[in-house]
Amino acid sequence: MDILPIGPIQNGSKVDLKLEKVEKQDGVGFKETIGNFVNEVNDLQMKAGESVENFATGKVENVHEVMIAMSKAEVSFKFMMETRNKLIDAYKEIIRMQV
């Protein structure tokens, strides 16, 4: 079985055309999706900080709510960091393929 070389793509990239179709179908692009994800993580971090502050000042007496808010913020932050690491790994792999 022979492997045939890939020729140059003429008149624009087929990948770009496919990405445009995906963005039009979903209505939200990659940039907006990542931005929304980061904003959600930030909101959880802010809520956890407010929860700890309210507990420290005596406004809230339920320790469980504080711990739940802190755990949600921690898990979402760890997930965001792992997602970032995977995106960076994918980017590095694409760069290596182009060389």
**Tens digit of pLDDT for each residue in 24-33?**
555 778 889 8
User: Is residue 67 in some structural domain?
Assistant: yes
Would you state the pLDDT for residue 64?
94
d(C-alpha 50, C-alpha 69), whole Å: 9
Question: Could you tell me the two tokens for 2?
Answer: 């022979």
Contact 80, 38 (CB under 8 A): yes
Domain range enclosing 81: 27-98
Domain count, the chain: 1
- Statement: the pTM of the whole predicted model exceeds 0.75: no
Residue 16 lies in a domain: no
Q: Token pair of 87, please?
A: 């995106």
Average pLDDT over all residues of the chain: 82
**pLDDT the model gives residue 5:** 60
Residue 17 counted as domain residue: no
Q: Give the pLDDT confidence of 39-57 residue by residue, as tens digits.
A: 999 999 999 999 999 999 9
